[in-house]
Amino acid sequence: MEKLKTVILGASGYTGAEAVRLIMGHLKLELSALTANRHAGKAYAHVYPHMAHQGLPDLVKWQDVNWDGTDVVFACLPHGASEDTIAEISRPGLTVIDLSADFRLKDAELYAQTYGRAHTTPKLLAGAVYGLSEYARADIKQASLVACPGCYPTASLLALLPVLDLIDADNIVIDAKSGVSGAGRKENTAFMYPETAEGAHAYGVGTHRHGPEIDAQLSTALGRNITVSFTPHLLPMNRGMIATINVELNQTVTPADLRAACIARYKDEAFVHVEPEGIVPHTRHVRASNQYRIGIFPDRNPRRAVIISVIDNLTKGSSGQAVQNLNIVKNWDETLGLSMVPVFP
């Protein structure tokens, strides 16, 4: 079988580089172009030396890609740039997997409030499918534009969706923690080693853009509007994300019920694993893999429980889920290119 011609839009960001890594190990895809307009003309190894010696194409402007000869594009651009570029390149037969935030919120007004700019491609938005892989397979299969969820929403939603009927959805407290790669590759002193190593801090308290995305998905699932508490933190590590979710149990519900609901929901999933009782998931144990692990614990307060999920923010939280979504679109084995064992230590 011929491999599908695959383009990475925005290959100079971390999610772009992770998409490249995963696609290089995917039997049905080949990288036909890597774009990065600021770096067009450079070898990819100039931007990402770990990619040297692999025969990868040089970086080009997206305008110089042969889009008619392209089968698949992973858009790894910042929001705004993403929808603008996708609007230019989308055409029949091209599958677009978007890793930006541009098509995650169905409500264009909410998008405008959240991202500080009007949405400019309402038709594309209408057709986009929110690609939380384990929950949207039927829609993803039909999609030509898949909006991959944010990393925090991925971590939070897979933990909450199976138990939503068992808890007080108006009292969900999500305390989330991310590695520094989640901030992207930025010329900003705030992400220098001395400013992020050997310490930790919350950020975007009450205001982080992934809050509305989590709300929107949970509200849709519930059929009514809820607002979660959500506090993200930046931790001194390259990769990894934890969501520690404190929930209030409905009357008569026990933590064991939450666990049972999660197991029932995920028992046939390739990437989602419910940890045995007492086992706490660590981010380092899913590093560089597409795994998602959940632990469920009794809280000290007997009316509450603690759900802890971990992912690699760049893999299941971004480029890995993107590849998984493409596998779904193409009706391939969902694990194609994604069966990497976690890298530890």
Selected binder of a copy of itself within 53, 55, 123, 268 (CB under 8 A): 53
Cis peptide before 345 (omega within 30 of 0): yes
Q: Does 197 participate in binding a copy of itself (rule CB under 8 A)?
A: yes
Question: For residues 9 and 31, which CB has a smaller minimum distance to a copy of itself in the complex?
Answer: 31
Which 8-state DSSP code applies to residue 77?
P
Q: What residues between 220 and 279 interact with a copy of itself by CB under 8 A? A: 227-231, 233, 235-240, 242, 244, 246, 248, 273, 275, 279
Q: Does 287 participate in binding a copy of itself (rule CB under 8 A)?
A: yes
Is 151 one of the catalytic residues? yes
The answer to whether 337 touches 23, Cβ cutoff 8 Å, is yes
Q: Does 123 participate in binding a copy of itself (rule CB under 8 A)?
A: no
**What type of residue sits at position 286?**
V
One DSSP character per residue, 6-48 reads EEEETTTSHHHHHHHHHHHT-TTEEEEEEE-GGGTTS-HHHH-
Q: Does 180 participate in binding a copy of itself (rule CB under 8 A)?
A: yes
Q: At what angle do helices 210-222 and 151-160 cross, to 10 degrees?
A: 30
**What type of residue sits at position 1?**
M
Q: Does 164 participate in binding a copy of itself (rule CB under 8 A)?
A: no
Selected binder of a copy of itself within 291, 319, 321, 327 (CB under 8 A): 291
Burial class (CB in 10 A: 0-12, 13-18, 19+), 43: middle
Q: Does 57 participate in binding a copy of itself (rule CB under 8 A)?
A: no
Q: What residues between 125 and 154 interact with a copy of itself by CB under 8 A? A: none
Q: What residues between 12 and 31 interact with a copy of itself by CB under 8 A? A: 14, 17, 20-21, 24-25
Question: For residues 191 and 332, which CB has a smaller minimum distance to a copy of itself in the complex?
Answer: 191
Q: Which residues form the catalytic set? A: 151
